[in-house]
Amino acid sequence: MKDKVVLVTGGASGIGLASAEALAASGARVVCADLQQSQDLPQGCEFRRLDVSSEKLTEELVSDVIERYGQIDGLVTSAGISRVGDLEHMSLQDWEQVLQVNLTGTMLSARAVAGPMKRRGQGSIVTIASINGMLGNPNNLAYCTSKGAVIQMVRSLAAELGPSGVRVNSISPGYIHTPMTTMLDELPVGQAFASMHLLKRAGRPQEVGNAVAFLLSDISSFITGVNLPVDGGFSAAKVIAI
């Protein structure tokens, strides 16, 4: 990734921050865009404030990055929120907010970088989806819907941008210890969830960050349109004792 320029949304925390770390460690220049500032961004990373649900701010940020660094080679969309709630109890406001950030925000970021990447005939986009976008979940309707839509959007974008040399893939993490899951970590349900992963534990943000770096780099140059679970085997099997 030496000298590649990568924008990471949600780059101030959790999976986004770990992705920025992995990318910077492999030589990339990384812009971490987030609502909140990170206390400890790694060397090689610059912080920029961004609300990914704003088309105007996203377009302006991408223009700034290109002006400052001369190019944009990669995009990681990790900005995301979760609001627990089922069909009956979820508020319309929660539904709209989750879709606005997780789905529309991902589309807006991809749209902002797609033009410049197409003109250069190269680029790699990695979106952070979720195992909750691959499987149903009775109490997380907005989040599951947003992540399922992101996985499908990635396939469509891969088809649209592939002829221009731009690759688009998603990663679906399992249960990863981050600030988003702090509540879960402390509850018995968190342990039960962790034990549903074939490796019998939750993952670390760095384990997702490494997969992000792989999909962004030229090592994965013939991979596009893929949804890669990084989930300790959660989505691979349903294990029952016989």
Binding site for ligand NAD (CB under 6 A): 9-10, 12-16, 34-36, 50-53, 78-81, 101, 105, 128, 130, 173, 175-176, 178-181
How far apart are CB 8 and ligand NAD at their closest, in Å? 10
User: Among all chains, which residue has been given the structure tokens 């609502």?
Assistant: 35
**Cα 167 from chain centroid?**
15
Look up residue 30 and give its amino acid: V
Closer residue to ligand NAD in complex, CB, 132/220: 132
Q: Which of 18, 41, 143, 216 is catalytic?
A: 143
Indicate the residue among 130 and 169 with the shorter CB distance to ligand NAD: 130
Based on CB atoms, which residue is closest to ligand NAD, 118 or 155?
Answer: 155
Q: Which residues pair with 75 in a beta bridge?
A: 7, 125
- The CA distance from 67 to 63, in Å, is 6
Residue in the block written with tokens 């085997």:
233
Smallest separation (angstroms) from ligand NAD to the CB of 34: 4
The sheet carrying 123-128 orders its strands as 45-49, 29-34, 5-9, 74-77, 123-128, 166-173, 227-230
CB neighbours of residue 218 within 10 Å: 12
69 is catalytic: no
143's tokens: 């989040």
- Which of residues 25 and 35 has its CB atom nearest to ligand NAD in the complex? 35
> Based on CB atoms, which residue is closest to ligand NAD, 5 or 211?
211
- Give min distance, CB of 115 to ligand NAD, in A: 21
For residue 19, give the 3-state DSSP assignment: helix
Cα 16 to Cα 30: distance, rounded to the nearest angstrom: 11
Kindly give the residue spans of alpha helices, DSSP state H, lying in the chain: 14-25, 55-69, 92-98, 105-120, 141-161, 182-185, 188-195, 205-216
Query: Cβ 242 to ligand NAD, closest distance in Å?
Result: 30
Least distance to ligand NAD from the beta carbon of 176, Å? 4
Catalytic residue positions, numbered? 143
